[in-house]
Amino acid sequence: MTWFEGGQGPLILWMKEIPIRWVIALVVALAVVFLGITLILGWRSVQMVTRLGEDLFNQYQLTLARKIAEDIQTRVLEFENGLLEIKQLIGGQEMKAGDYPAILSLFSHLRNQGIAEFQLVDPRGRFLFGLGLPETPPEIINQVLIRTREQKGIDQIFITAPFRLLGQTDPNLYMVLATAAFRPDGAYRGVCFLRLAANMIALQASMNVVPGRTGYVWVIDPEGVFLAHHDLTFVGLSSFKARREKNPRVSYQIIDRLTREQLLTGGEGTSTYETGWHRNAVGRITKLIAYTPVRFLAQPKDLSISPSFTSAFWSVAVVSPETEVSGLIWAVSRQQWLIAGLLTLTIVLSAVVAIIIVLRWSSVLRQEVSRKTVELESAQKKLLHAERLAAVGQGVARVSHEIKNPLTVIGGFARQVARKIQGDERSVEKLNLIVDEVQRLEKLLIEVRDFTRVREPAMQVENINRVVQKVVELMEPALTPAGVKVALQLEPDPGPARFDADQIKQVLINLIKNAVEAMPQGGTITIRTRGNAKGIFVEVEDTGKGITPEHLKEIFNPFFTTKEKGTGLGLAVSLKILNDHNGELLVSSQVEAGSVFTVRLPRQPG
Is the pLDDT confidence value at 333 over 80? no
pLDDT, position 277 = 84
Q: Which residue has the higher pLDDT, 99 or 295?
A: 295
Contact 483, 602 (CB under 8 A): no
pLDDT band for 4, please (50, 70, 90 cuts): very low
Residue 432 CB contacts under 8 Å (≥ 6 apart), including other chains = 418
Strands 174-182 and 594-601: unpaired
Highest mean pLDDT: which of 184-193, 294-303, 376-385, 459-468? 459-468
Nearest alpha-carbon partner for 148 in 158, 137, 138: 158
Q: What is the crossing angle of helices 501-517 and 464-479, to 10°?
A: 40
pLDDT, position 564 = 63
Is the pLDDT confidence value at 494 over 80? yes
What is the arithmetic mean of pLDDT over 297-311? 42
CB atoms within 10 A of CB 303: 9
Nearest alpha-carbon partner for 589 in 562, 559, 551: 551
pLDDT, position 307 = 36
Q: Which of 82-86, 114-118, 358-362, 488-492 has the lowest mean pLDDT?
A: 358-362
Q: Which domains, from first to last, does the chain contain?
A: 54-321 (3.30.450.20), 457-606 (3.30.565.10)
Per-residue pLDDT tens over the stretch 221-256: 989 999 999 999 999 999 999 999 888 888 999 999
The CA radius of gyration of the chain, in Å to the nearest whole number, is 61
pLDDT band for 270, please (50, 70, 90 cuts): very high
pLDDT band for 327, please (50, 70, 90 cuts): low
Helix or strand (DSSP H, E) at 119: strand 115-121
Alpha-carbon span 353 to 461, nearest angstrom: 47
User: Model pTM?
Assistant: 0.53
pLDDT, position 488 = 92
Is the pLDDT confidence value at 93 over 50? yes
Contact 234, 244 (CB under 8 A): no
Q: Which of 81-95, 189-203, 218-232, 403-417 has the lowest mean pLDDT?
A: 403-417
Alpha-carbon span 29 to 23, nearest angstrom: 10
Alpha-carbon span 236 to 255, nearest angstrom: 18
Per-residue pLDDT tens over the stretch 550-571: 888 888 777 777 776 666 677 8
The rounded percent of the chain whose pLDDT value lies above 70 is 80
Q: What is the mean pLDDT of the chain?
A: 81
